[in-house]
Structure 1
């Protein structure tokens, strides 16, 4: 209606005013002198009764559920960095507008989804393949789990986004040789799994979540911690059906631990030999041997004394 008649700042002011009326609801009609003169007598009449048709109203909980259901139906699958750029540019433009609470929530969800997909692409060199008309992102560190899960009939792995974010943080800082940030993210991930009661990491997704913690600990060299996390993964509900992958990783860690023990044993033997060689007593001349055998420069016998 006002697209061509009102432009620039005037249009923005008008939209803000209309939105204010929208937020006020039906009571905005009382701002009109004409309507106010008609409505006020009727509203102030003691004989006026307004029936509460409870069946026509939705509870706040039901309304939130409907809103979240619609939001979660949104899907984002950018194919390249150019599409990521367009998504982020659109999000930046929408963030400057005056949005309702549900619109703002939807925009925040879209932003998070876009950034998660972008993180997969940039931090992990995501390799995408098409399977049953669905794009499945492959993460190098989860390649074994994805193969086992697909072999068992599942095309996708289910994991909490909070766990994925911490995993990406650990791996990214590790590859950037930022050890302090890497260990901090690893601690945050471990704390999340130890103390969360299902709010951030659903109980049915704990098998892969503990597996991811073990993988991160394995990458940074904490073999004992990784072994504990893998064993904890086996004790969880096998929702993602990755038991075979967990068993393979446990055997790998045990083999590395055994190799480390053998290496430590060899290093200890070499160290002891070096210490003995360093403290070996110096030889001394035996004068009697010199007299028996002739000139001292021809032969020499030595005695080792402790």
Structure 2
């Protein structure tokens, strides 16, 4: 038994002594039954996470099994299953009375633990303050995997784009104050996600402050601080946030470091349990994330679109698209798998590795041709990026075809002006040849 399993056994013993067997004249259960409960749950429920933050769920699972046993009048010995330990003790009127008592406790939900003087002193304030949330209504229980998907979708809506250095500092101070409060696991992850986004935006904000007028020392200092902020965001962020660090390295002309980040991102995003727009292999997710904290599940599994805000400067290759989107008043969203291949193409091209840049270009083209909509939801910007990469590699006819494909897609990204601009530039270039 691990630490959490011992805690659950201890919780069941206190529950038995102070609540179920509070009337000594009617006590018919003993602590060995509680230990047997834990053993059977450990063996039969492979998806139950035996970790301290999931202790109440473990307790409730054992409690429901106890009710089932009392209802059937059967408690199989763990080592000799054919031996029913309830055969003499839990029978007749005693069985009926015990079942009614347990069912009444079940109807109270997890707050039935407040009836215990020992347990109640720890749970009373969290339940009153609503920092402890635990649903026990069997008709409305949501599987943890589905609950995670709902949370991840909501997290994408959290975000803010400060415009000044003062606004950033005020938000960092506010987050620091919030973290001193007693927070639920969902609140902690929400704050962590918000802090990650704020750090990324602050990094791009600092990067945009680097100008030719500054001294070399000052530019190097700002660049270093920008990278520090982005690295910190990558440590606490989701799986696709490594792409922002790769993009920043590319902007700073650190192509080898950018490629290392891209390899890390590709490894994370290729896992079979990753989550993108709520789509996931639930069985793989449950197996891989059993016993993993909610914060780590977010870091290891979650993939978000790359968002380019018009307030910050990213990479030169996407400036026309940002300008076109700015007129539409929105955020330019790029599928992470598309951005991954784009940065591979651009980095290999800058390093003069023609073979690898062509291979990455072909990988991007293949992704667009055969994707079923699960990895490339925004087709217009995706075909646009393929055209940009083809133009960078010198395939002007291929770029024109890709830009035409972009115009034929649903205009989700509102980049038609940028597309027409690029088509015109290529035509002008070909006319001069």
After TM superposition, is the score higher than 0.5?
A: yes
Higher Cα radius of gyration: 1
Name the SS for the 2:352 alignment partner: coil
Partner of 1:199: 374
Partner of 1:81: 227
TM-score (norm 2): 0.43
Partner of 1:112: 240
Q: CA deviation at 1:217?
A: 0.1
Cα distance in 2 for partners of 1:37, 1:214 equals: 70
Matches within 5 A, 1:99-138: 109-113=237-241, 115-125=242-252, 135-138=311-314
Match for residue 146 of structure 1 among 302, 322, 332: 322
Name the SS for the 1:183 alignment partner: helix
Partner of 1:36: 31
Cα distance in 1 for partners of 2:332, 2:231 equals: 27
Instruction: From the superposition, tell whether residues 193 and 27 of structure 1 become closer, same or farther in structure 2 (CA, over 3 Å).
Output: farther
Instruction: From the superposition, tell whether residues 233 and 63 of structure 1 become closer, same or farther in structure 2 (CA, over 3 Å).
Output: same
Match for residue 342 of structure 2 among 164, 167, 172: 167
Cα distance in 2 for partners of 1:137, 1:26 equals: 56
Q: In the TM superposition, what whole-angstrom CA distance separates every residue of 1:203-238 from its partner, at most 9, and x where no partner exists?
A: xx1111100100000010001110100000000011
Is 1:63 matched up with 2:147?
A: yes
Cα distance in 2 for partners of 1:57, 1:145 equals: 44
TM-score (norm 1): 0.60
Instruction: From the superposition, tell whether residues 87 and 19 of structure 1 become closer, same or farther in structure 2 (CA, over 3 Å).
Output: farther
Cα distance in 1 for partners of 2:227, 2:397 equals: 39
Cα distance in 2 for partners of 1:53, 1:147 equals: 51
Name the SS for the 1:54 alignment partner: coil
**Tell me, which stretches of 5 or more residues in structure 1 are unaligned?**
1-15, 92-106, 127-132, 261-306
Greater relative CO, 1 or 2 (CA 8 Å, sep 6+) = 2
Is 1:190 matched up with 2:365?
A: yes
| CA RMSD, 1 decimal | 3.5
Instruction: From the superposition, tell whether residues 28 and 169 of structure 1 become closer, same or farther in structure 2 (CA, over 3 Å).
Output: farther
Cα distance in 1 for partners of 2:383, 2:326 equals: 19
Cα distance in 2 for partners of 1:124, 1:20 equals: 50
Cα distance in 1 for partners of 2:406, 2:6 equals: 55
**Tell me, which stretches of 5 or more residues in structure 2 are unaligned?**
18-29, 38-65, 74-95, 107-135, 159-192, 204-225, 254-308
Instruction: From the superposition, tell whether residues 57 and 153 of structure 1 become closer, same or farther in structure 2 (CA, over 3 Å).
Output: closer
Q: CA deviation at 1:63?
A: 1.2
Matches within 5 A, 1:200-219: 200-202=375-377, 205-219=378-392
Q: In the TM superposition, what whole-angstrom CA distance separates every residue of 1:134-186 from its partner, at most 9, and x where no partner exists?
A: 853432011111112212333x2111011111111111110000111111111
